Amino acid sequence: MSSSKSELRSVDTYLERNSTLTLGFGNGGMSPFTFTIPDGQEVDVCFFKFFVTTQPVDLRSIARSSPFSALTMRRGGNHLQFPPVLDRSWASMTIPVIQRRVSPTNP
């Protein structure tokens, strides 16, 4: 059985073009995300990194914790994980989330 190039490039879509998917509330299947600015801090920045692939991929090997989550660093060797194998087409997008504290006198 042979496949044409157009068949190899086609992907079943679960979202219509220009439609939306709510993440963390409603039909997204997970708890809502909440963001807070720590006391004494005026600005907080975090990032969402979205990966889209044409077939299922286990991305657990690229998960990273925040470099600021621990006050001390462990010395010595670390176990390196292998990167995921992405045999087909994929794309990624990083979206920054920037929060600024608004004072009641200066909205």
Instruction: For residue 43, report the phi and psi dihedrals to the nearest 5 degrees.
Output: -135, 145
Banded pLDDT at 37 (limits 50, 70, 90): confident
* Tally of CB atoms within 10 A around 53: 16
pLDDT at site 29: 64
Domain ranges across the chain: 35-64+81-107
pLDDT at site 73: 46
Q: Is 29 helix (H, G, I), strand (E, B) or coil?
A: coil
Angle in degrees, CA 69, 29, 101, rounded to 5: 45
